[in-house]
């Protein structure tokens, strides 16, 4: 199936070709026609499935036949849990929307930065991408009006609830008109997500990309058995010997993330930490540099990493094991995406061994384990 089979117009097809997307992903094959037909959509899909283009492309197409937005009443609202995701979605809208005959104006609003510029830019926004708290601040400041929303996209709904946004989201729903098109994307389906689905969606077109089976095939996985105290030297050894130039390292806490990045810097490796304690400016700066290849190592916590989308990220290292198998798959899903191969390395201490067995069992895949006791890490 090609993109032109999905009912997209030729300017959009050209934009897609410019992005070298050859074939729509399974989620896109189902979501694009459904959104164009005005249907509600439920996508059980994670980052890496192509879900963003799955809703952005049809939105851009629908907007082509609409008049430019005026005033502060938004018609298309995309709700997201994190600032990073908001920025990423806006980037996709801009990337595909920039060459269309009818210019599409999008705006990403999120907390942690001054509200005034966002208030000023709101006028005439076609697609508003927002985190819940900041959106409500803007509503309270009368900078935006939600009573005419025609389409609501709720992205990473599970994450939204996990981060404790339920109250904000409830309040936002109360401000929306009854009649509208709703799209909901979530990587997982908990009871809470199910409640949201039955509340929001009516007769949705449903698509599911199983997390556990979809990601690992693209990825070359390896584990290194290592004593906790030798993890830092092993990381630096691998960076050098495997010639890793763009590596996302996962840590389980803010403190460890800072420690790892700090030590790398001391050893002359360009590294930065990305976590919730960093200012928005520092987070954006680190991500931009990392994406541009000016930062060799980005050390992230699970929370901050969610939704990071970097094309062709070659290496992911689990410096510490994630708590759940799902998080493991999510982490390593950062690499080997969109058909480019990647390598995922996991450090496993003797204390982690049992937990790592459970992860492999859940994933249905055995990961090759390399012993490192004989490895001379002196000087790293
Ligand atoms: P997403 O799941 O929306 O975060 O997208 C994951 C990655 O896949 C992004 O880097 C997209 O640019 C890329 N992507 C999305 N759709 C396609 C496609 N049809 N062909 C190739 N790459 C794609």
Q: Are 3-208 and 219-371 the same fold in CATH? A: yes
Rounded CA-CA distance 41/373 in Å is: 51
Rounded CA-CA distance 239/269 in Å is: 9
Rounded CA-CA distance 362/314 in Å is: 24
Give the residue whose CA is nearest to atom 1 of ligand 1: 50
Q: Quick one: pLDDT at residue 20?
A: 81
> What would the pLDDT profile of 276-298 be if each residue is shown by its tens digit?
788 878 888 898 899 888 999 99
- Expressed in angstroms and rounded, the spacing between residue 92 Cα and the centre of ligand 1 is 10
| Better pLDDT: 288 or 227 | 227
- Expressed in angstroms and rounded, the spacing between residue 28 Cα and the centre of ligand 1 is 10
Summarize the chain as % helix, strand, coil (round to 5). 45, 15, 40
Task: Provide the CATH topology of domain 3-208.
Answer: Rossmann fold (3.40.50)
Identify the residues whose C-beta falls under 6 Å from ligand 1: 21, 23-25, 28, 47-53, 309, 311, 337-338
| Better pLDDT: 230 or 311 | 230
Question: In a mutational test of the pocket of ligand 1, which residue from 20, 96, 337, 339 has the highest number of ligand atoms less than 8 Å from its CB?
Answer: 337
| Better pLDDT: 326 or 373 | 373
Q: Which helix (H) or strand (E) holds 318?
A: strand 315-318
The dihedral built from the CA positions of residue 161, 162, 167 and 168, taken in this order, carries a sign that is negative
* Statement: residue 187 has pLDDT above 90: no
Give the residue whose CA is nearest to atom 6 of ligand 1: 48
Q: Quick one: pLDDT at residue 337?
A: 56
List the alpha helices (DSSP H) in 132-247: 132-140, 157-162, 166-175, 191-200, 211-214, 231-241
- Expressed in angstroms and rounded, the spacing between residue 249 Cα and the centre of ligand 1 is 22
* Statement: residue 309 has pLDDT above 70: no
Q: Quick one: pLDDT at residue 339?
A: 56
> Environment class of residue 36 by beta-carbon count within 10 Å: exposed (0-12), middle (13-18) or buried (19+)?
middle
- Expressed in angstroms and rounded, the spacing between residue 333 Cα and the centre of ligand 1 is 12
Give the residue whose CA is nearest to atom 10 of ligand 1: 311
* Statement: residue 213 has pLDDT above 90: no
Range 219-371 classified under CATH 3.40.50.300: yes
* Statement: residue 211 has pLDDT above 80: no
What are the structural domain ranges in the chain? 3-208, 219-371
- Expressed in angstroms and rounded, the spacing between residue 198 Cα and the centre of ligand 1 is 28
- Expressed in angstroms and rounded, the spacing between residue 337 Cα and the centre of ligand 1 is 8
Paired tokens of 156? 């990473």
Give the residue whose CA is nearest to atom 14 of ligand 1: 50
- What does the mean pLDDT of the chain come to? 90
Give the residue whose CA is nearest to atom 20 of ligand 1: 21
Q: Which helix (H) or strand (E) holds 343?
A: strand 342-348
- Other C-beta atoms within 10 Å of 326: how many? 18
> What would the pLDDT profile of 28-84 be if each residue is shown by its tens digit?
999 999 999 999 999 998 777 899 999 999 999 999 999 989 999 999 999 999 999
Rounded CA-CA distance 88/81 in Å is: 12
The 3-state DSSP class for residue 113 equals coil
Give me the mean pLDDT over the 174-182 stretch: 97
- Expressed in angstroms and rounded, the spacing between residue 291 Cα and the centre of ligand 1 is 15
Three-point CA angle 222, 224, 228, nearest 5°? 145
Q: Quick one: pLDDT at residue 268?
A: 95
Q: Quick one: pLDDT at residue 212?
A: 45
């Amino acid at each position: 199936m090609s993109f032109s089979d999905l009912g997209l117009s030729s300017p959009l097809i050209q934009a897609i070709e410019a992005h070298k997307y050859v074939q729509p992903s399974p989620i896109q094959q189902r979501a694009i026609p459904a959104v164009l037909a005005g249907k509600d959509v439920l996508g059980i899909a994670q980052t890496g499935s192509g879900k963003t283009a799955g809703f952005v492309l049809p939105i851009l197409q629908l907007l082509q036949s609409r008049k430019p937005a005026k005033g502060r009443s938004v018609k298309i609202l995309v709700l997201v849990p994190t600032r990073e995701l908001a920025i990423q979605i806006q980037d996709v809208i801009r990337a595909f929307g920039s060459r269309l005959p009818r210019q599409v104006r999008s705006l990403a609003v999120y907390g942690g930065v001054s509200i005034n510029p966002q208030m000023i830019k709101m006028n005439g926004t076609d697609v508003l991408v927002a985190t819940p708290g900041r959106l409500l601040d803007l509503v309270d400041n009368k900078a935006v009006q939600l009573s005419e929303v025609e389409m609501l996209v709720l992205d990473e709904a599970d994450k939204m609830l996990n981060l404790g946004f339920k109250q904000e989201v409830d309040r936002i729903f109360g401000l929306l008109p009854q009649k509208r098109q709703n799209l909901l994307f979530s990587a997982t389906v908990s009871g809470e997500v199910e409640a949201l689905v039955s509340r929001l969606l009516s007769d949705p077109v449903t698509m599911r990309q199983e997390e556990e089976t979809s990601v690992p095939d693209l990825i070359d996985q390896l584990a290194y058995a290592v004593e906790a105290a030798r993890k830092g030297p092993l990381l630096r050894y691998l960076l050098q010997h495997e010639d890793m130039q763009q590596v996302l390292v996962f840590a389980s806490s803010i403190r460890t993330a800072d420690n790892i990045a700090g030590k790398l810097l001391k050893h002359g490796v360009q590294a930065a930490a990305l976590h919730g304690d960093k200012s928005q400016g520092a987070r954006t700066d680190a991500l931009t540099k990392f994406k541009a290849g000016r930062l060799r190592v980005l050390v992230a916590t699970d929370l901050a990493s969610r939704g990071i989308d970097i094309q062709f990220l070659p290496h992911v290292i689990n410096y510490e094991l994630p708590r759940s198998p799902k998080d493991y798959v999510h982490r390593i899903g950062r690499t080997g995406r969109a058909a480019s191969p990647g390598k995922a390395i996991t450090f496993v201490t003797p204390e982690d061994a049992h937990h790592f067995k459970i992860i492999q069992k859940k994933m249905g895949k055995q990961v090759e384990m390399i012993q490192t006791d004989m490895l001379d890490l002196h000087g790293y």
